[in-house]
Amino acid sequence: MSKILRLSILGAGTVGGGVLTLLRENADLLEAQTGKRFEVRHVLVRNPDKPRAVAVPPKLLTTDPQRALCDPKVHVVLELMGGLEPARTLIRDALQAGKHVITANKLVMAVSGDELLRLARQRGVRLLYEASVAGSLPILDALQGALAGNRIQRAVGIVNSTTNFILREMERALDAGEPAETAYTNALQKAQQNGYAEADPTSDVEGYDAQYKTAILARLAFLQYVPLESVYREGITHLSGRDLLWARRLNMGLKLLSISERLPDGRLCARVHPTLIPRECPLYVVRGAFSGVWLQGNGFQEMSFHGFGAGARATASAVLGDLIAVARSPKPPRYEDPSLRPGETAPIESLSMRYFVRLVAPDEDALRTLREPLHLLGAEFHPAEALEQGVEQVALTPPVNEGAFQTQIARLREQPDATVQVIRLLSAV
């Protein structure tokens, strides 16, 4: 490779803009770290006339992907546009053309990572994707490098910053005596303005973004291919201010967690859902637009990563890390990527865990009917409370099987005018 590393950047939005900024600000540092100068030759966008937070010299801008991909002088293509297509095809074309690729695209890596990683190896180029999971946190690099000599037992993460930010803003609203529902909407708008949210924020709030990241994280932590559809997903849209209030009363935090663990029978279970965590959990202090990953492994015991999980500069930091890795070692490893091996996965229904259950019924009689099956399970009840409309009661169950429990809960939800909110508790390892 020459002393100049030439780049095509696909996308000049939040992440692309952040990368262009850091490439300029840290040019001398990057040269010192790699012995190479980085030169941007093309920046692909949809609309070259759009005003941009970060100025791009007009001669670099193009709307023609072939210009960015087919330039024989370009060594590395940075895919920072997002979405499945045309991003996936452009990554494939770039690899076929013998370019290294760096991407922040968790959707593409969760859906087609296996195919693309194999293609990169065949073509003798590198495909790196640190920014696709938890923004600035070097978690994928750590799992493949410094921690690779450990058997990972569990990986638990707050991997979506938008939802973590929304939950924090809802808590703040409760403290200020404001409605949690308006706090939710305002926080989502703020996350969009700050560039944390996806182009379609449904992906954040319904847990899809965290599901993509979990498929990638679990694959690298447990060294087996994790099909996206095997990762259970639940978002935060059904949570209310009462759930946050109860979390606080119980001395717990309420987070959208990504949890992957190896079960005693050898199967891997990966899932995303709102979870109540105790104060002692390292992820309890991960608040606002931050992400965190807490790993447990048979050598290092436990380790946590905590930092900005989204935003222009934080994400660009991970992209630059990958760029430096390519500049230093442009050859892919010769051995087969162990994270692409097939392996068995287990559905969430095979787990046993504890649950928080919040029942709301129009009157005490209706509440008693809802309580009945939880009593039989040996749940602990908090005293019932009168709300403006109806009566509320919270119970915590002992560990019970998810499949059987959800069947019972579905029956309770058939009762007219009943609210049956269920939130899982994080179990000890």
Distance from C-alpha of 151 to C-alpha of 173, rounded to nearest angstrom = 42
Q: Of 64 and 181, which CB lies nearer to ligand NAP in the complex structure?
A: 64
Q: Of 27 and 53, which CB lies nearer to ligand HSE in the complex structure?
A: 53
Which tokens sit at 245? Answer: 């209030």
Which tokens sit at 424? Answer: 């899982």
- Choice among 190, 213, 255, 331 that is catalytic: 213
Among 5, 6, 8, 14, binds ligand NAP (CB under 6 A): 14
Write each residue from 117 to 156 as x if it is in contact with ligand NAP (CB under 6 A), else as -, in one continuous string: --------------x---x---------------------
Q: Of 274 and 311, which CB lies nearer to ligand NAP in the complex structure?
A: 311
Q: Of 288 and 362, which CB lies nearer to ligand HSE in the complex structure?
A: 288
Angle between helices 87-96 and 106-123 (to 10 degrees): 10
User: CB of residue 314 vs ligand HSE: minimum separation in angstroms?
Assistant: 9
Q: Of 69 and 426, which CB lies nearer to ligand NAP in the complex structure?
A: 69
Q: What is the DSSP letter of 143?
A: H
Of these partners, ligand NAP, ligand HSE, none, which one is at the site of residue 204 (CB under 5 to 8 Å by kind)?
Answer: ligand HSE
Site for ligand NAP in 51-80 (CB under 6 A): 80
Residue 188 engages ligand NAP in binding (rule: CB under 6 A): no
213 flagged as catalytic: yes
Burial of 266 (0-12, 13-18, 19+ CB in 10 A): exposed
Q: Please list the alpha-helical segments (H only) found in 238-334.
A: 241-249, 312-328
Residue 201 engages ligand NAP in binding (rule: CB under 6 A): no
Distance from C-alpha of 429 to C-alpha of 423, rounded to nearest angstrom = 19
Residue with tokens 């579905």: 410
Comparing CA positions, the residue from 204, 215, 211 lying closest to residue 237 is 204
User: CB of residue 80 vs ligand NAP: minimum separation in angstroms?
Assistant: 5
User: CB of residue 163 vs ligand HSE: minimum separation in angstroms?
Assistant: 7
Report the 3 state secondary structure along 329-369.
Answer: CCCCCCCCCHHHCCCCECCHHHCEECEEEEEEECCHHHHHH
User: CB of residue 53 vs ligand NAP: minimum separation in angstroms?
Assistant: 9
Contact in structure between 41 and 81 (CB atoms under 8 Å): no
Write each residue from 81 to 120 as x if it is in contact with ligand NAP (CB under 6 A), else as -, in one continuous string: xx---x-----------------xxx--------------
Classify each residue of 366-382 as buried b or exposed e, where b means 16 or more C-beta atoms within 10 Å of its C-beta.
Answer: bbeebbeebeebebeee
HSE on the CB side for 357, CA within 13 Å?
A: 32
Applying CB under 6 A, which part among 43-51, 175-183, 236-244, 259-267 lies near ligand NAP?
43-51
Contacts of 80 (CB under 8 A, 6+ apart): 9, 10, 11, 12, 13, 15, 16, 19, 103, 104, 105, 319
User: CB of residue 160 vs ligand NAP: minimum separation in angstroms?
Assistant: 10
Tell me which residues touch ligand HSE (CB under 6 A): 135, 160-162, 196-198, 204, 209, 309-310
Angle between helices 208-222 and 106-123 (to 10 degrees): 40
In this structure, what is the dihedral angle of CA atoms 168, 170, 171, 177, given to the nearest 10 degrees?
A: 150
Comparing CA positions, the residue from 228, 199, 242, 192 lying closest to residue 358 is 242
Among 196, 225, 355, 405, binds ligand NAP (CB under 6 A): 196
Which secondary structure element, helix H or strand E, spans residue 76, and what is its range? strand 76-79
Of these partners, ligand NAP, ligand HSE, none, which one is at the site of residue 292 (CB under 5 to 8 Å by kind)?
Answer: none
Write each residue from 296 to 335 as x if it is in contact with ligand NAP (CB under 6 A), else as -, in one continuous string: --------------xx---x--------------------
Of these partners, ligand HSE, ligand NAP, none, which one is at the site of residue 162 (CB under 5 to 8 Å by kind)?
Answer: ligand HSE
Residue 46 engages ligand NAP in binding (rule: CB under 6 A): yes
Residue nearest to ligand NAP (CB): 13
Residue 9 engages ligand NAP in binding (rule: CB under 6 A): no
Q: Which residues are catalytic, by number?
A: 213
Q: Which residues bind ligand NAP (CB under 6 A)?
A: 11-16, 44-47, 50, 80-82, 86, 104-106, 131, 135, 195-196, 198-199, 310-311, 315
